[in-house]
Structure 1
Amino acid sequence: MSTTVRSASAAVFRPVRTRNAFEETVERLLQAIRLGVVGPGERLPAERELAARLCVSRVTLREAIRAVADAGYVESRRGRYGGTFVVGTLPDAPVPDPSDVDMEDVLTMRRVLETGAAETAAARALTPAERRHLMAALTDVDAVGIGSADEYRRRDSRLHLAIAEVTAAPSLMTAVADVRSRVNELLDAIPLLATNIEHSNVQHRTIVSAILSGDPAGARGAMAEHLEGTAALLRAFL
Structure 2
Amino acid sequence: MAITVRSASAAVFRPVRTRNAFEETVERLLQAIRLGVAGPGERLPAERDLAARLGVSRVTLREAIRAVADAGYVESRRGRYGGTFVVEELPESPRRDPSGVDLEDVLTMRRVLECGAAETAAGRALTPDERQHLMVALTEVDAVGTGSAEQYRRRDSRLHLAIAEVTAAPSLTSAVADVRTRVNELLDAIPLLATNIEHSNVQHRAIVAAILSGDPAAAHAAMDEHVEGTAALLRAFL
TM-score (norm 2): 0.97
Contact 1:4 1:136 in 2 (8 A): no
Aligned-pair Cα RMSD in Å: 1.2
| Paired residue type of 1:203 | Q
Q: Which residue of 1 aligns with 2:216?
A: 216
Inter-partner Cα distance in structure 2 for 1:222 and 1:196: 16
Q: Which residue of 2 aligns with 1:99?
A: 99
Listed as ranges, the gaps of 5+ residues in structure 2 are none
Give matches, 1:1-238, under 5 Å. Answer: 1=1, 4-238=4-238
**Secondary structure at 1:156 match in 2:** helix
Contact 2:3 2:44 in 1 (8 A): no
Residue 148 of structure 1 deviates from its aligned partner by 2.4
TM-score (norm 1): 0.97
**Secondary structure at 2:30 match in 1:** helix
Contact 1:4 1:137 in 2 (8 A): no
Residue 37 of structure 1 deviates from its aligned partner by 0.5
| Paired residue type of 1:115 | C
Structure-2 change in CA distance of 1:83 and 1:2 (3 Å): closer
Superposed CA deviations along residues 43-90 of structure 1, whole A, max 9, x for unmatched, are 111111111111111000000001111111111111221111111111
Superposed CA deviations along residues 19-43 of structure 1, whole A, max 9, x for unmatched, are 2111110000000000010011111
Contact 1:207 1:222 in 2 (8 A): yes
Aligned residues: 238
**Secondary structure at 1:85 match in 2:** strand
**Secondary structure at 1:20 match in 2:** helix
Could you list the runs of 4 or more consecutive aligned residues of structure 1 that deviate by over 2 angstroms after TM superposition?
A: 1-7
| Paired residue type of 1:82 | G
**Secondary structure at 2:75 match in 1:** strand
| Paired residue type of 1:12 | V
Structure-2 change in CA distance of 1:142 and 1:4 (3 Å): farther
| Paired residue type of 1:46 | A
Inter-partner Cα distance in structure 1 for 2:151 and 2:18: 31
**Secondary structure at 2:19 match in 1:** coil
Residue 2 of structure 1 deviates from its aligned partner by 6.2
Residue 16 of structure 1 deviates from its aligned partner by 1.4
Residue 4 of structure 1 deviates from its aligned partner by 5.0
| Paired residue type of 2:17 | R
Deviates more, 1:10-19 or 1:216-225: 10-19
Contact 1:36 1:155 in 2 (8 A): yes
Superposed CA deviations along residues 79-115 of structure 1, whole A, max 9, x for unmatched, are 2211111111111112111211111110000000000
Inter-partner Cα distance in structure 1 for 2:227 and 2:2: 27
Contact 1:23 1:64 in 2 (8 A): yes
| Paired residue type of 2:112 | V
